[in-house]
């Protein structure tokens, strides 16, 4: 049991620092609040405001979830699918659903070395839901509570079509595996976003552009 706890703890740290690194790459300061208020990472445009005090303050709030999967695409059988699960408390969900200045960021790592990525340390997939999209999924009843658990579960299927040029994508699903309204996040290829909000849900830049109204 102790081993499971520490594995979850370190996997969680992995995702949080991965996000902080991405925010720094985009010129934002990132910090982890000392108190657990349902927000893991906060970003500030500190550098920009120090250089120009007339720039308006910009703050974004993130809850980070991390999952590890062993999905593998066989060379003789294209196409793959796996489901990952993220647990959230009611308070965390309510906090995140208050606006688009906050987001749930999910990192998925693959335990199969070289199966889908060139480096084991790199996330296999990262995707985000801003507060308004998470609220739509919640209000559609797609979140579910497993028997005996106090937290709610948000499930995603990671899919890759069987055709040669298919791209991976994430879909929020309900307890029965059915696609949730607003659950389709587009595909990971940069040519087209595909999500109904027109955002690119597979990069932190995609979230920043969306939150800034670009």
Residue ranges in 86-178 assigned as alpha helix (H) = 90-96, 131-139
Helix (H, G, I), strand (E, B) or coil at 208: helix
pTM listed for this prediction: 0.88
Which pLDDT value is given to residue 2? 47
Residue pLDDT, tens place only, 177-188: 999 999 999 998
Residue pLDDT, tens place only, 54-103: 999 999 999 999 998 877 665 655 556 789 999 999 999 999 999 999 99
CA distance 156 to 138: 13
CA atoms within 13 A on the CB side of 167: 13
Which pLDDT value is given to residue 110? 79
Strand order in the sheet with 29-31: 29-31, 41-44, 59-69, 102-110, 125-130
Burial letters for 35-62: b for 16+ Cβ neighbours within 10 Å, e otherwise? Answer: eeebbbbbbbbeeeeeeeeeeeebebbb
Question: Which residues of the chain fall short of a pLDDT of 70?
Answer: 1-12, 72-80, 112-121, 164-165, 190-193
With beta carbons less than 8 A apart as the criterion, state whether 131 and 103 touch: yes
Which pLDDT value is given to residue 114? 47
Both structure tokens of 168: 């991976």
């Amino acid at each position: 049991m102790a081993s499971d706890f520490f594995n979850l703890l370190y996997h969680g740290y992995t995702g949080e620092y991965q996000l902080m690194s991405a925010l720094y790459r985009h010129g934002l300061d990132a910090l982890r609040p000392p108190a657990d208020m349902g927000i893991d990472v906060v970003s500030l445009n500190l550098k920009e405001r120090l250089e120009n005090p007339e720039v308006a303050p910009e703050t974004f709030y993130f809850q980070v979830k991390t999952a590890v999967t062993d999905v593998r695409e066989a060379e003789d059988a294209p196409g793959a699918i796996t489901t990952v699960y993220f647990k959230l408390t009611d308070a965390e969900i309510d906090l995140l659903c208050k606006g688009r200045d906050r987001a749930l960021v999910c990192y998925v790592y693959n335990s199969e070395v070289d199966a889908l990525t060139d480096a084991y340390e790199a996330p296999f997939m990262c995707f985000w839901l801003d507060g308004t999209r998470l609220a739509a999924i919640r209000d559609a009843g797609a979140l579910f509570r497993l028997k005996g658990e106090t937290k709610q579960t948000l499930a995603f299927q990671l899919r890759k079509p069987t055709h040669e040029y298919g791209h991976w994508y994430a879909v929020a699903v309900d307890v029965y595996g059915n696609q949730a309204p607003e659950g389709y996040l587009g595909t990971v290829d940069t040519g087209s976003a595909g999500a109904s909000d027109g955002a690119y849900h597979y990069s932190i830049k995609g979230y920043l552009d969306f939150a800034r109204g670009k």
